[in-house]
């Protein structure tokens, strides 16, 4: 006979469950429901390598909340995935509750929006950033729930003090994991053609921007990282291509 599912109060209003491989999803789901009678929150900590326990936690109705790093368990610190269900969560058998459950563990891709701004000579506006040596197109990370088109206009205004509407999408570029970053999708929007005097209107966000200037494609290749230069050249072609690290 398997040991009972462990249910203990770890903080005011918080119950923590632990179970063994013999326990089924239905058994864990029932214990979650019982614990929620007296606790607003029920949680469990799951080994990232234990796929079976992750499935049980999910289909018992608990949302994946993230990874708690360096938890002291047994002989030393380990990482644990935190799953939890709140008394206020919508029932899983309702469409909204089921979507919320799926949304908690399905992959989320980071999105970056950039703007291609050119002058009448075809030169490209590049920024020298404070946090890396390479130059790059103006833009930045899209916030949760934010339109990529709105995001790039917001970033250009925040970083450069320029109000430029984002035009057509010129390029979708996938960036593989690199240098400690997860992978991301980079969307490059058309910022139109502006006279070189637009640089006189720039108000740099000193925390992020060191220098701004229009560059020829040859200068882009010299100043930017290889994958950035490839992305810029692909965006200049303006065919709404899809590339991976700037390569078709």
Residue-range domains of the chain with CATH: 6-105 (3.40.630.30), 110-244 (3.90.79.10)
Half-sphere exposure of 16 (CA within 13 A, CB side): 8
Which residues make Cβ contacts (< 8 Å) with residue 111, sequence separation at least 6? 141, 142, 148, 151, 184, 185, 186, 187
Q: What is the pTM of this model?
A: 0.83
Beta bridge partners of 8: 16
Beta strands of 48-109 (E only): which ranges? 63-73, 76-86
Q: Kindly state the percentage of the chain with pLDDT values over 90.
A: 89
> pLDDT of 10-50, one tens digit each?
999 999 999 999 999 999 999 999 999 999 999 999 999 99
Q: What is the mean pLDDT of the chain?
A: 94
> pLDDT of 112-130, one tens digit each?
999 999 999 999 999 999 9
3-class SS of residue 135: strand
Instruction: Work out the pLDDT band at 181, boundaries 50, 70, 90.
Output: confident
> pLDDT of 50-84, one tens digit each?
999 999 999 999 999 999 999 877 777 999 999 99
Instruction: Work out the pLDDT band at 224, boundaries 50, 70, 90.
Output: very high
Which residues make Cβ contacts (< 8 Å) with residue 48, sequence separation at least 6? 67, 79, 80, 81
Helix (H) or strand (E) holding 32: helix 25-38
As a whole number, mean pLDDT of residues 136-165 equals: 96
For 27-65, b where at least 16 C-beta lie within 10 A, e where not — what string? Answer: bbbebbeebbeebebbbbbbeeeeeebbebbbebbbbbe
Q: Encoding tokens for residue 172? A: 């979708």
Instruction: Work out the pLDDT band at 1, boundaries 50, 70, 90.
Output: low
Beta bridge partners of 28: none
């Amino acid at each position: 006979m398997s040991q009972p599912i462990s249910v203990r109060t770890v903080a005011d209003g918080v119950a923590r469950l632990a179970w063994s491989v013999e326990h089924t999803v239905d058994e864990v789901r029932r214990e979650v429901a019982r614990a929620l009678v007296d606790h607003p929150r029920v949680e469990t900590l799951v080994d990232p390598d234990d796929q079976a326990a992750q499935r049980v936690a999910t289909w018992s109705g608990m949302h994946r909340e993230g990874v708690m790093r360096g938890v002291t368990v047994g002989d030393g610190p380990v990482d644990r995935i935190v799953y939890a269900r709140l008394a206020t969560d919508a029932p899983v058998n309702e469409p909204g509750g089921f979507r919320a459950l799926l949304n908690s563990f399905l992959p989320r891709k980071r999105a970056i929006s950039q703007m291609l701004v050119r002058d009448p000579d075809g030169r490209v506006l590049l920024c020298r950033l404070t946090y890396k040596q390479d130059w790059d197109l103006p833009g930045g990370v899209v916030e949760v729930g934010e339109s990529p088109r709105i995001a790039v206009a917001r970033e250009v205004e925040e970083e450069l003090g320029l109000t430029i509407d984002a035009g057509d999408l010129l390029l979708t570029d996938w960036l593989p994991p690199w240098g400690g970053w997860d992978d991301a999708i980079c969307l490059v929007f058309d910022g139109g053609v502006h006279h070189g005097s637009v640089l006189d209107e720039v108000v740099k966000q000193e925390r992020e921007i060191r220098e701004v200037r229009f560059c020829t494609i040859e200068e882009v290749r010299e100043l930017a990282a290889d994958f950035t230069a490839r992305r810029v050249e692909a965006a200049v072609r303006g065919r709404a291509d899809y590339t991976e690290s700037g390569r078709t």
